[in-house]
Structure 1
Amino acid sequence: MKKTINLIIAVIGIVLFSACSRVAPNYAGVLMENYGKNGKEDFKIVSGKVSVWEPGTELFQVPLFDQRGGFQEPVILKAADNTEFTACPVYSYKVVKSRAVDVVFDNKHIGGGNDFMTSLEDNILEPRMYDLIKEESRKYKTDSLMADGGSLAFEKNLEQIVRKEFNDRGLELRSFSAQLEFSNKVRSRNEVNTNISVLDQQIEEQKKRNELEQLRTEQLLIQSRGLTKEILQKQFIEKWDGKTPLYGVVPEFLKLTK
């Protein structure tokens, strides 16, 4: 009888031991109890060994180190002028420890276990990023995106939008790159448009130069027409001191004064 009791105790001990989990180092343990029926009240951060033998109890292991993700397939986007181009975003992020309960509570429906973060990326983060990138791309024209620093400006604005989205979800965005790519056809067309734009600008500049030169010519013509005989006489008298000998042909008005 005593042996039977000891055996039962041993079995219970094994069951209880196997029903315990340990929170791994550099992870936040989030324990859900009572199937989460009472909302966020049934979730708490735990550490060390955690008992998960009770029905409705589940331990989520949330990594606190950087996670790296990236779209498996390029995202097809359209600019404001309806030109298609692609993006293949890559990013990294980490869970904010103080927000670990929020991360689990808001996303527990996608599953748990070791695939929790992968499921979070595939089912929540990347679909949302796709919508944000698509929406932001419609605000830019192709020539502005392909101009010097154009794609960089786009990425910086987009990064700020994605950063806020991650922050609202209890995540810290560590890095982000949209990695825009344009087809050779689009690149060639943009180069032609750029060259035409430069030529148009040069033509306009030359027109302005021609107009300015014409104005100068007309001004000189008007001035020359205004130089009457009397004005020339006045200018000559003002510059001559009346003493310096005059050589050559003496102006008629000076002969009269003599």
Structure 2
Amino acid sequence: MKQKIKFLMMALVAMVVFASCERVAPNYAGVFMENYGKEGKKDFSIKTGKVAVWEWGTELFQVPLFDQRGKFEKPVTLKAADNTEFNAQPSYSYKVIKERAIDVVFDNKHIGSGDDFMSSLEDNILEPRIYDLIKEESRKHKTDSLMADGGSLIFERRLEQIIDKEFLNRGLQLLTFSAQLEFSKKVREKIDSRNEVNTNISVLDQQIEEQKKQNELERLKTEQALITSRGLTKEILYKRFIDKWDGQAPLYGVVPEFLKITN
């Protein structure tokens, strides 16, 4: 009887141990924590295959190594440098850097585990940080520059660089980012009106410059005419007449004095 009870107990223990094993899924990094992580990162290790998690203080974090996508559920309100309000609804994609999987778990284990670990990371860590970075960067740009041709693209590229660096510090690789800026109808109409005024001013400036050039040209022509007229002595006029006269064509009217002299 005792032998049978002993066998049943061993079988029960084996079942408990077996049931307390987890298998690291394909394309996941298995980050194993023991001793409740009290000794810091040295209590964390990478595991593959089946991992026993029946001991107290142990936990297996399954960290996906494939692309993750996130998007703000609601638009966030931002302010430009000229205090104009506009909205953004960022979307992004990223993945965990395999060699940094332990860092990702160690830094964020307090926010949750299991299947909700990555979504919890996005909701509680990544998106609040993205919002802070966008808010800080938006204060460096004026509405005109943001709404100008290519302005929002320049803004997004700058943000992507900042967020890429932030993600890298957290063991993540940023793949794509889009801020998706949106301005109110009132702001768009205001900017369109201002652009129209600026265009008209630009046209007027060109016309003014053109008129200045015309006036300058007329002045130069007048000065040239004066200089030429002052330099036309009788002798120069006589020479020009002789150069043009063939010596045979009859002369009518008043005969120039120099012809009388030559005669």
Q: TM-score, normalised by structure 2?
A: 0.92
**Partner SS, residue 217 of structure 2:** helix
Show the counterpart of 1:244.
Answer: 246
Q: Check the 8 A contact 2:238/2:258 in 1, yes or no.
A: no
Show the counterpart of 2:58.
Answer: 57
Instruction: Write the letter of the residue equivalent to 1:254.
Output: F
Show the counterpart of 2:108.
Answer: 107
Stretch moving more, 163-172 or 221-230: 221-230
**Partner SS, residue 177 of structure 2:** strand
Residue 238 of structure 1 and its aligned partner are, at CA, apart by 5.1
CA distance in 1, matches of 2:260, 2:158: 85
Give the percent of matched residue pairs that are identical in Structure 1 and Structure 2: 55
Residue 227 of structure 1 and its aligned partner are, at CA, apart by 3.3
CA distance in 2, matches of 1:28, 1:143: 46
Show the counterpart of 2:48.
Answer: 47
Deviations 1:160-210 (A, max 9, x none): 111111111111111111111111111111110000001111111111112
Runs ≥4 residues deviating over 4 A: 246-251
Residue 236 of structure 1 and its aligned partner are, at CA, apart by 5.9
**Partner SS, residue 86 of structure 1:** strand
Show the counterpart of 1:209.
Answer: 210
Show the counterpart of 2:117.
Answer: 116
Q: Check the 8 A contact 2:108/2:121 in 1, yes or no.
A: yes
Instruction: Write the letter of the residue equivalent to 1:252.
Output: P
**Partner SS, residue 46 of structure 2:** strand
Alignment of 1:165-244 (within 5 A): 165-228=166-229, 231=232, 233=234, 234=236, 237=239, 240-241=242-243, 244=246
Is 1:10 aligned to residue 14 of structure 2? Answer: no
Q: 1:251 to 1:129 in 2, by over 3 A?
A: farther
CA distance in 1, matches of 2:141, 2:220: 47
Q: 1:61 to 1:219 in 2, by over 3 A?
A: same
Instruction: Write the letter of the residue equivalent to 1:4.
Output: I
Deviations 1:103-125 (A, max 9, x none): 00111111111100011000110
CA distance in 2, matches of 1:257, 1:34: 130
Residue 244 of structure 1 and its aligned partner are, at CA, apart by 1.8
Q: Check the 8 A contact 2:80/2:138 in 1, yes or no.
A: yes
Is 1:255 aligned to residue 250 of structure 2? Answer: no
